[in-house]
Structure formats: structure tokens, C-alpha cells
């Protein structure tokens, strides 16, 4: 997250002073592990409403075959990870960011 913040600051300084982070999607999240829940809580404490209220879970089956002609989301129908990306797309398209998604 620190590296992302530094990158955003560099872009703001050199190219786009109005650049802002619209939202943060937690990834590789394992709801069953204490570590994942603690890390997510720390991210929410630090970034507040920027953190979406859903997370992309760590799912090994979320990677489609590289030979598959289908898109990532269509090849992942029913997979938890695909649902997180659909929620993200809906939130971005509707303008609902962070915990307001």
C-alpha cells in the first residue's frame, strides 16, 4: 500500500494533480484466517471509506486456462472471485466507491 501511495503521489506531482484513488479492493483475502481479517481491519482503519465492503477471496480456481478463448469473468461464472470483480465493476460504474458500494 505504501508503494501504491508513493506511485500515486509521483503521478500527481508530475502528470495529473487531480489524480485520486477511487477505491481499494482487498485481494487474496481468506475470511477464515485471523491474519487476513486483521490486515483488512488495519487497511480499513487507515483508508476508511476508500476500502470496498467486499473483498476478492484467495481462490486457486479463479485462474482460467491461458488457452481459454473466454474472458476471465465469463470463464469464472459462479466462482467467488468473479463475483467480487462483478461487484467492483458495478460499484465503479455506478459511482459508488468505498464502503458505500
pTM: 0.63
**With contact defined as beta carbons under 8 Å apart, do 101 and 53 qualify?**
yes
Q: Which of 16, 18, 22 is nearest to 94 (CA)?
A: 22
Residue 100: its pLDDT value, please? 42
Residue 84: its pLDDT value, please? 80
Q: Which of 83, 87, 86, 80 is nearest to 53 (CA)?
A: 87
Domain ranges for the chain = 22-100
Mean pLDDT, contiguous 10-residue spans, the chain (101 residues)? 89 94 86 91 91 76 52 55 84 69 40
**What is the SS3 assignment for 51?**
strand
Amino acid at each position: 500500500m505504501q508503494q501504491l501511495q508513493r506511485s500515486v503521489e509521483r503521478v500527481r506531482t508530475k502528470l495529473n494533480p487531480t489524480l485520486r484513488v477511487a477505491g481499494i479492493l482487498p485481494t487474496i483475502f481468506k475470511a477464515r484466517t485471523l491474519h487476513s481479517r486483521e490486515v483488512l481491519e488495519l487497511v480499513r482503519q487507515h483508508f476508511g471509506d476508500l476500502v470496498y465492503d467486499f473483498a476478492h477471496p484467495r481462490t486457486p480456481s479463479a485462474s482460467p486456462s491461458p488457452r481459454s478463448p473466454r474472458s476471465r469473468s465469463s470463464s469464472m461464472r459462479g466462482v467467488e472471485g468473479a463475483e467480487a470483480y462483478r461487484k467492483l465493476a458495478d460499484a465503479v460504474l455506478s459511482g459508488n466507491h468505498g464502503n458505500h458500494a
